[in-house]
Every structure is written in C-alpha cells, then in structure tokens.
Structure 1
Amino acid sequence: MSADLPKTFRDALDIRARQALAHWGVADQQPELLKYRENAVFRVHLADGRPAALRLHRAGYHGEAALRSELQWMAALGDGGLAVPRPIAAMDGRLLVTLPSEEDFAAQHADVIAWVDGEPLGESGRPLSHSPERQVEIFSALGATMAEMHNLADRWTPPAGFWRAAWDKEGLIGERPLWGRFWDCAGLSAAQATQLSALRRDLQQRLATLPTPAKDFGLIHADLVRENVLVDAAAVKLIDFDDAGYGFRLFDVATALLKNRREPAYEAIEAALISGYRGRRALTNEALAALPLFLVLRSLTYIGWFAARPELPGARERVLRYADEALALARELGLA
C-alpha cells in the first residue's frame, strides 16, 4: 500500500521518520517504509546496527495511554518468554515520544520496537503455501503460543494507568463498536442493512447467554490474522499488537481460524490449533460450542473497518463483499 503514496508525501514521511529517529540518536539513515495503514511502519537500524521497526502512529487513532499500555504489555509478554516485538527506549528513557504538528502532519506519537525475524504465515485472499503437514505443525504451535499469551496475561498485574479498549459485547455489537457500526454503515445495500441489523440483535442475545466456560475474558491480541503470525523453523512469533485489548479468548481463536476456512486442510488446521491451545490452557467442548458465534462476530468487524476507510483501494467493494460473506457464514453456521 505504501507504493500508492504520492512521492511528495513519501518524501515528507521520510523526513518525519528521521525526525522521530533523532530521539533514538539514529536520524542519519534512510528509513525503509514497509507499511502505511493505521501506522507508518519503517525498517530502521539502531546505533549498534541491529534492525528495528519505527512506528509513526496515526494521529487520533489511539491515545497516549493506550499506546504506552500496548508497549508495556509487549514488554511483559517478552519477559514471559514469548517471541514478540519488544519496545526500545529512546535516549531519554521514554518508550513513546510525541512529534509536534507540522505542515504535512498532525501531532502524533512514535515508538521503536525490536525487529522480529520470520516470514508471515500467509496473505489474506491467497492460499497457504505450506504443505498440509507443515500447516498442522504451524497451527499447533500457534495454538500453544496463543494459550501461553493468555496465561501470561492472567498472571500479569498491569501498571497504574494501563488502558486498552475492550472487545466485549459493546465493543463488538453495541451502539458504537470498536471497528464501526457494521449494520448501518455507508456502502451497504438496503437488504444487507436489514439482514445485518436482524443478525446483530440475535447475536446480542447469544452473547448475553454464553455458557460460563466460553466467557474466558482478559487481555487478547485481537488480530491474529496470517500477516501477524511470523513463522520460522523453530517457532511462531506474534506481531502487531495495535488492536490488543480486553476480550473473549475465543475471539483470538476465531480470528486465527476465520480466513483459513476455505483452505483444503481446514479441518486439520482447526484441530491442530485447538489441540495446541489445550496443551497449555483449558478449553472445554462446552466453550468450543460457542466458536461459531465468535467466527461470525469476527467476520462482522471487517465491514465497519473498511466502511470507515473509504480512501483505501476497493473499500466500497470490500464492504459489500464482507457483508455478504458474514451473512453467508452466519447461515452456514446456523446463526441466521
């Protein structure tokens, strides 16, 4: 997506990145822009030559408390032995710095996190490239890593001032969901809006009557899609905690599975993920009975996310497609 940016803006973005890097004492380099979505993410190098990632956070998307809390939780997970990006302090000891408003940019925050090696598990919309046997290995490891992340979160005491958004009933299907009002957003057809409104009412009732084992709730990653799972020969690694917050643990499980449902080896993928998870944390059959609900809840989030970003290529088409896909999934899983 960075290739679509006008050259003048790219040049301004490079200057902005070096302005941020001055706080880490490494402004004399050419940052490599990797991604421009919620954040502008650059590959950079520290004074000792180690690679790292610089993030220029989208102004107004997350507040200072939320961004600092994200870094604190990543540090805690790293201390607990998980392979996640670890925050790197600026020269004055701060994990998060504030860049002033300028002609091309509003005031925004920046941080630097350690580089994590590995290849993304896959890319949304493209078949997984690994063999079925390797897919089972990867998803088993992912399930175990996810469970350990949940375990570490439960054992950790957040510091004073810690705040992250909640992927709870209100955050998913309340009046103001975290990723937008998917049932009445711009771009929907009248029929889609009607069906999504009815589905939302039904899901509210189902979520309110969850069996106790399915209510496991606490800090979650919330965006364990293929691109945020890095794979190497030894382990899986989790990146991009931008949307991490408090939520149902089954929401993490559903997110990791949703975009793989059309893979030929999906049944083996799902079984491997659940088996890996159960090797580290309890997940009963009664709880798993609610997995279809969370698959549908996750599918609905994409509608509002793209509706709120009409500037992205193909956003309107994606809103229509994701609405159709979510409604079809609800029917397929017996929820509509």
Structure 2
Amino acid sequence: MLADTIPLQVLLRHLDQLANSSLQLWAVPEGAQARLINVSENATYLVEAGDFRSILRVHRPAYHSRRGIEQELAWSQALAADNMVLTPPPIIGRNGALVQKGHHPDLPEPRFMVMFAFAPGRQPDENEDLAAPFERLGAIAARTHIHSQGWQKPTPLERLHWDAEAVFGPQANWGDWRDAPNVTPEIRAVLEKAEALICRRLAAFGKGPDRFGLVHADMRLANLLIEGETTRLIDFDDCGLGWFLYDFATGISFMEDHPQVPVLRQAWVRGYRSVRPLSEAEEVEIDTFVMLRRMALLAWIGSHIEAPEPQAMAPHFAAGTAKLAQAYIEGFA
C-alpha cells in the first residue's frame, strides 16, 4: 500500500468510500456494503447484502498493470478449470471485464479492482498442528508447478520476478532490507554474509525449466482457506516467475523460526513428492529459499511500515532474521 504518501487512516477512509461507491460496477444486490477486512499490498473488503457475500480487492497503485492483473486471473482460472487447485473465481463486472477501475477525488491515482466469489473455510493458525495441511499444500504446490510448465503463458508476461535480483538488486520489489527497522550494524554484517551465500548458491542451483517458472509466490497461511480436509488457495496477486521451491518458503512466511517448521517441511516435501519429483539436491536447497524469502520479508516490513502488520513485527524481526541467517551460514559451512 505504501506507494501512497497519505496517512494510513486517511487513505483507508478514502478507500472505504471508493470501495462502496464502486460496487455498482458489478451486479451485486442493492444495498450491498463493503467492509475492510485486510490491508497489506492491497485493501481487501468483504461485500455483504443479505445472503450475498463476495470479496473485493482494491489494488495499490503502480504495483501491477491492468494486463498483469488479467494474467494473474487467467492463470488462477486455468488452474481451477484444470482441477489443479480450488480457488474462488473472479466475478465479471457489468461491462464484461474482470478488472475494473475506480476513482476517488482525494486519491491521486485511480485504483484497479477485482471482485471474487466468497469461499468457505478458515485461515489456519501457526500454533495449531499444521502437518496435515502442509502435506496437502505440498501437493497443491506441485500441481501448480506442473501446470506452470505446460501452460501457454501470455506474451509479454507482465508479472513480478522473485529471484535474487528481485530481492537484493537496486530495484528490489520491496526495497532494500538494510532500510528495515532495527537493522543494527551487527545485524547488517550477518545478513550481508547470508545474502552473499544465498546468491552464490542460487547461481549454482540455476534457473532450469524444471526448477524455475510461474509460481504463486505467496502460499502463506493468510492465503489458505481450510474446510475439513479441503484446502483452497487464494490471492495470486504476487504470482510471477521464480523458483518452484520458493513456494515452500512463502508457506512459512513470518513463522520461519517456529518450532514446528521442521515437521512442516517434511510434510510439505512428502506431499510434493506424491505429485511431482523432488531430488535430494533440491530438498537440501530449501534452506536457501527460506532465507531468501525471510530477507524479502524484512525489506517488506521496512517499505510497508505504516500498515498494522509490519508495525507489529518490526521490533524483533531484524534480530530474528539475523539469528536464522547465522544458522543458515553455519549449516553450509
């Protein structure tokens, strides 16, 4: 969201007005109201009217082009149509388009918007036993990777990249991790060693088509809906070109140091191998992708610090990242 310079509470007030005034762009029931349920990269609203419910995503400016959003929706719909994943479909607007554009007089730029069908299920909690959900998630990830390899991608593909350059380069997607809160000189020294090791190992790992392609890139708990034995995957907003194993790292986003992560890793790998081969050499490199993602999240906190979630994590995230980095460095010593 932080492309905006408007104070967050003022921005959210404008976005609330924009969301509600824009509901007429879809064939929703009369009297429908949009209520904010999450703010991160985008603002997400629950739309309700009687028994009707849907989800409205209001995009941040300058993150994706209209064509890029259309490509995201095309892939998620193709995955669903080919029975690779369960994911709620987007809802077509009155004008026949999936991506709508809304304006607010006090916002400097128009906002792209997408409405999705409401899907049942609950977001899992990191402190519950997640072994079974992660085994299912591994299988889901493998199916998306198989589909990614065979799907005819739009040209040009206007999606983000999630490689070393995208995390550590001068135009990193979420900025420089060095600018994050509480990155002391001591922490910076450890993380710079970790960055160098990550880059060396990723260069050796390579970007062969069996390892690198179109990935969801954000399979964290917030983007899973669990209903009994069923797992739905939502929010393909960050999908782009990256390493397939990056999807495991995104699955443990913000909980990389949780005690059950080793069990979750085993479960995810087991589920993945039930669908798609995964070599021992690839499994070893999972630690590198976890560290790559963690440092990307550190940068994300720094560049999104006005939002509630980054603010809550900021006091300890850098120190926790350095601790993980030191273990990573020693693991490959």
TM-score range, shorter chain: 0.7 to 0.9
Tell whether the 8 Å contact from 1:309 to 1:315 is kept in structure 2 after alignment.
yes
Give the 5 Å matches for 1:105-184.
106-122=109-125, 127-130=126-129, 135-184=130-179
Structure 1 gap ranges (5+)? none
- CA–CA distance in structure 1, aligned partners of residues 181 and 268 of structure 2: 36
> How many Å apart are 1:41 and its aligned residue?
1.2
Residues in 2 aligned to 1:273 and 1:289: alpha-carbon distance in whole angstroms: 14
Amino acid at match of 1:113: F
Distance in 2 between residues matched to 1:309 and 1:228, nearest whole Å: 19
Matched length: 323
Q: Does 1:76 align with 2:78?
A: yes
Q: 1:323 aligns with which of 314, 318, 326?
A: 318
Q: 2:162, 2:242 within 8 Å by CA — same for their partners in 1?
A: yes
Query: CA, structure 1 residues 139+169, in 2 after alignment: closer, same or farther (shift >3 Å)?
Result: same
Q: Is 1:18 paired with 2:20?
A: yes
Identity %: 28
Deviation per CA, 1:193-238: give whole Å up to 9, x if none: 3332333223222211126889601111111111111111131111
Change over 3 Å in CA distance of 1:315–1:139 after alignment to 2: closer
Offset of residue 96 of structure 1: 0.5
Structure 1 length as normaliser, TM-score?
0.86
TM-score by length of 2: 0.86
Deviation at 1:159, TM superposition (A): 3.1
The corresponding residue for 1:29 is: 32
* Structure 2 residue identity aligned to 1:129: E
Say whether 1:226 aligns with 2:238. Answer: no
Q: 1:332 aligns with which of 322, 327, 331?
A: 327
Cα distance, 1:106 vs. partner? Answer: 2.7
Higher RCO (CA-CA < 8 Å; seq separation 6+): 2
RMSD: 2.8
Q: Distance in 2 between matches of 1:327 and 1:9?
A: 33
1:1-336 equivalence runs, <5 A: 6=9, 12-26=14-28, 28-45=31-48, 50-81=52-83, 82-104=85-107, 106-122=109-125, 127-130=126-129, 135-185=130-180, 187-210=182-205, 216-257=211-252, 259-313=254-308, 315=310, 318-319=313-314, 321-333=316-328, 334-335=331-332
1:282-329 superposed Cα distances (whole Å, 9 cap, x missing partner): 111111111111111111011111111232348577446222222211
- Please state how far the C-alpha of 1:14 moved relative to its aligned partner: 3.4
Extract unaligned runs of 5+ from structure 2.
1-6
Cα separation, partners in 2 of 1:152 and 1:94, compared to 1, 3 Å: same
Counterpart CA distance in 2 for 1:225 and 1:319 is 19
Q: Say which SS state the counterpart of residue 61 (structure 1) adopts.
A: coil
